[in-house]
């Protein structure tokens, strides 16, 4: 039986809202059973919460999802996609046929976990503990940068509340007093492989939430009146709010309600038929909840002319210093924002803070939340630059990976890379970051050797799509290139070149300077070396590499990084693809470094000028 009804709206009574909740449950069961996979029981538990939200509180124009005045809804528990897609059907933006015949099917947009291929989805979710962190960034943008009153609603599962990133997010929501932020925890007691850590101890959740500076509202998640009152209170503009809703996994279907072993399993067709009957049959309700205010067009000012810092050839300047100065200059562009993880005085991100404090966000030592906040800001149209030590950026790898799934555009900078940093020791040495960032889908990876190049590449990242990464070094090194030199992404420089080169030395960052010094040592022995500055690691300048392979026949690659996944593998992959097979020696950090001076550590790692020259002599004399 299909029940027909007029559209529901903010004035609908709770009996009508209950009918909508039942429809969401029925459609969650139908869709997952039709697909043969999915998470219906996780959807059933949150249906009442979402029915009240979308009918009475979510200010959203389903026909104009790009209206910047509208609220945001994020399913941090992305596995509950049957519920989200059932909501889309209730909103009339997808059809019943699409829900039933395309969910989780190859090449279709209703994927197993939601992605922004759907215009009503801001971000890809499904890696648990991330949606709530993104919500903080979106809320920061709305309040601090746009002065808008939209709200950010995020549905969380209770299992993901053990993720540390959840508490980083709530800490920042509390610290910043994000009254436009509401998290709803679906406390349904059961996780993937048994009961959750706290099960139905909602008071424990509340105490933890309040300890992080947020308001906790504990409710029965199936009491529609209590849900409505909690959502009303959350929107009162006084505090960041977490609604702790006790629910039943599989609510409404006796055969699976509060039964272990049903996570991520569709109901078999016969059981699904009984479930639909128990839930009152199919319905065809349509929802049009409260609308956002009309958005007045905002005039777009002409793009300012950015004056990048200039450096004199021969002066010693750290690339991290050049990055900071260039970032501050880029701040003249109103869409550029900067985020710091409490190391801005080392990374020089603080230069941006001094110039543009209103667009600088101090996230403190919470690298996952820093990247998540950057992603949230990007959702609102800003171009974020997030910076910390290269070693610590690896903590946020999953957030970076998922940002690529969301097709987010943002710039990351990792400073203090490699053994070059010296006495601080291996805990501070970024030796894996190039591999991590090269592996990210659609990423751009840049590694300047001098200040002029660093400033130019910092500016280039403001116009690059996708995720871009700039690797900078701690120490000061001579400026090699004159102001105004161009550094196209995907290019390289060849500071040493002749018609009779016997070997090619390839470096980036600190090892370029070592390669140049090694070339001088080789010249004293009568060996002429070509030197390539591979400042663009991804994409890489294959044409220049192939020419060097053909003309010299021998390459020495030196990098301040582990041999796996860095500069060397980028070069070798490019050459192999092009069918070039020169003699190659790859020098990289293979042992476990310790403390010492920069020169001592470079030599111990086998990437000093003396070690590069030794390897080149062996190849040249082959």
CATH number (domain holding residue 565): 3.40.50.920
Same domain (yes/no): 519, 408: no
Are residues 472 and 500 part of one domain? no
Statement: residue 1 has pLDDT above 50: no
Task: Examine residue 503 and state whether it is found in any structural domain, yes or no.
Answer: yes
Mean pLDDT confidence for 561-586: 97
- Selected catalytic residue, list 350, 353, 367, 420: 367
DSSP 149-160: ---EEEEEESGG
Identify whether 40 is part of a domain.
yes
pLDDT digits (tens, 9 = 90+) for 245-255: 999 999 999 99
Q: Are 243 and 172 found together in one domain?
A: yes
What percent of the chain clears pLDDT 90, i.e. is strictly above it? 96
Same domain, 40 and 121: yes
One domain for residues 144 and 54: yes
| Structural domain includes residue 291 | no
Look at residue 4 and tell me whether its pLDDT is greater than 70: no
> Of 478, 503, 528, which marks where a domain is finished?
478
Least confident stretch, 96-110, 147-161, 203-217, 295-309: 295-309
- Report the CATH number that the domain containing residue 436 is assigned in CATH: 3.40.50.970
Give yes or no: residues 562 and 428 share one domain: no
pLDDT band at 507 (very low <50, low <70, confident <90, very high): very high
Q: Are residues 474 and 384 in the same domain?
A: yes
pLDDT digits (tens, 9 = 90+) for 246-294: 999 999 999 999 999 999 999 999 999 999 999 999 999 999 999 998 8
Q: C-alpha distances in angstroms, 52 versus 24, 45, 47, 288? A: 12, 13, 9, 12
- Residue 311 located in a structural domain: no
- 179: in domain: yes
Active site residue 367: yes
Q: Would you say residue 216 lies in a domain? A: yes
Q: Are residues 468 and 522 in the same domain?
A: no
Q: Angle at CA 213, nearest 5°, toward 208 and 216?
A: 60
Q: Do 176 and 227 sit in the same domain of this protein?
A: yes
Residue 114 pLDDT > 50, yes or no?
yes
Handedness of CA 480, 485, 491, 496 (dihedral sign): negative
Structural domain for 107, as ranges = 2-284
Q: What is the DSSP code (8-state) at residue 342?
A: S
Q: What is the pLDDT of residues 376-395, one digit of tens each?
A: 999 999 999 999 999 999 99
Domain annotation covers residue 160: yes
Last residue of a domain, one of 284, 306, 324: 284
What gap in Å lies between CA 155 and CA 197, rounded to an integer? Answer: 19
Number of domains forming the structure of the chain: 3
User: Is 296 inside a domain boundary?
Assistant: no
pTM: 0.96
Structure confidence at residue 6 as a pLDDT band (50, 70, 90):
low
Residue 189 has pLDDT above 90, yes or no: yes
DSSP-derived pairing of the beta strands 383-389 and 336-340: parallel
Q: Does residue 60 have a cis bond before it (omega within 30 degrees)?
A: no
- The overall average pLDDT reported for the chain is 96
pLDDT in tens, 434-479: 999 999 999 999 999 999 999 999 999 999 999 999 999 999 999 9
């Amino acid at each position: 039986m299909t029940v027909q009804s007029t559209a529901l709206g903010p004035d609908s009574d709770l009996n009508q809202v209950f009918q909508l909740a039942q429809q969401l449950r029925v459609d969650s069961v139908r869709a997952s059973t039709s697909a043969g996979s999915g998470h219906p029981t996780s959807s059933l538990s949150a249906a009442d919460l979402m029915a009240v939200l979308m009918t009475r509180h979510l200010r959203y124009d389903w026909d104009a999802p790009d209206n910047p005045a509208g609220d945001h809804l994020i399913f941090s528990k992305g596995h509950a996609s049957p519920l989200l897609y059932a909501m889309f059907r209730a909103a009339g933006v997808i059809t019943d046929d699409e829900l039933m015949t395309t969910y989780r099917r190859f090449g279709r947009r209703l994927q197993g976990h939601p992605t922004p291929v759907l215009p009503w989805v801001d971000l890809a979710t499904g890696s648990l503990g991330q949606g709530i962190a993104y919500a903080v960034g979106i809320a920061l943008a709305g309040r601090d940068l746009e002065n808008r009153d939209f709200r950010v609603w995020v549905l969380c599962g209770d299992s993901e509340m053990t993720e540390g990133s959840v508490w980083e997010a709530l800490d920042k929501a509390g610290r910043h007093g994000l009254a436009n932020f509401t998290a709803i925890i679906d406390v349904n007691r059961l996780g993937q492989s048994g009961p959750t850590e706290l099960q139905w101890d909602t008071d424990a959740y509340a105490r933890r939430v309040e300890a992080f500076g947020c308001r906790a509202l504990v409710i029965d998640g199936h009491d529609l009146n209590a849900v409505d009152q909690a959502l009303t209170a959350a929107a009162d503009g006084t505090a960041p709010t977490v609604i702790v809703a006790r629910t039943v996994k599989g609510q409404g279907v006796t055969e699976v309600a509060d039964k272990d072993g049903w996570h991520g399993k569709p109901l078999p067709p016969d059981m699904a038929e009984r479930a639909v009957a128990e839930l009152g049959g199919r319905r065809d309700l349509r929802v049009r909840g409260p609308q956002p205010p009309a958005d007045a067009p905002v005039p777009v000012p002409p793009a300012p002319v950015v004056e990048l810092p200039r450096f004199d050839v021969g002066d010693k300047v750290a690339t991290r210093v050049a990055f900071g100065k260039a970032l501050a200059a880029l701040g003249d562009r109103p869409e550029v924002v900067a985020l710091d993880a409490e190391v801005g005085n080392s990374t020089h991100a603080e230069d941006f803070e001094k110039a543009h404090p209103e667009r600088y966000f101090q996230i403190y030592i919470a690298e996952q939340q820093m990247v998540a906040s950057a992603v949230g800001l990007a959702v609102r149209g800003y171009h974020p630059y997030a910076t910390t030590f290269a070693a610590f950026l690896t903590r946020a790898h999953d957030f970076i990976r998922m940002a690529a799934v969301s097709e987010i555009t943002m710039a990351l900078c990792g400073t203090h890379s490699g053994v070059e940093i010296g006495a601080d020791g291996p805990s501070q040495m970024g030796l894996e970051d190039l591999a991590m960032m090269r592996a990210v889908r659609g990423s751009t990876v840049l590694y300047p050797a001098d200040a002029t190049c660093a400033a130019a590449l910092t500016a280039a990242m403001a116009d690059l799509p996708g995720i871009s990464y700039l690797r900078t070094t701690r120490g000061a090194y001579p400026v090699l290139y004159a102001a105004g030199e161009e550094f196209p992404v995907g290019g390289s420089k060849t500071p040493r070149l002749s018609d009779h080169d016997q070997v090619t030395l390839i470096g980036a960052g600190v090892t370029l300077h070592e390669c140049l010094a090694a070339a001088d040592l080789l010249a004293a022995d009568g060996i002429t070396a070509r030197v390539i500055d591979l400042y663009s690691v991804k994409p890489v300048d294959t044409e220049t590499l192939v020419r060097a392979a053909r003309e010299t026949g021998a390459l020495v690659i030196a990098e301040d990084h582990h041999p796996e996944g860095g500069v060397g593998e980028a070069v070798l992959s490019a050459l192999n693809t092009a069918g070039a097979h020169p003699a190659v020696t790859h020098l990289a950090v293979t042992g476990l470094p310790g403390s010492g001076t920069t020169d001592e550590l470079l030599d111990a790692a086998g990437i000093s000028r003396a070690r590069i020259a030794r390897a080149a002599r062996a190849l040249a004399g082959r």
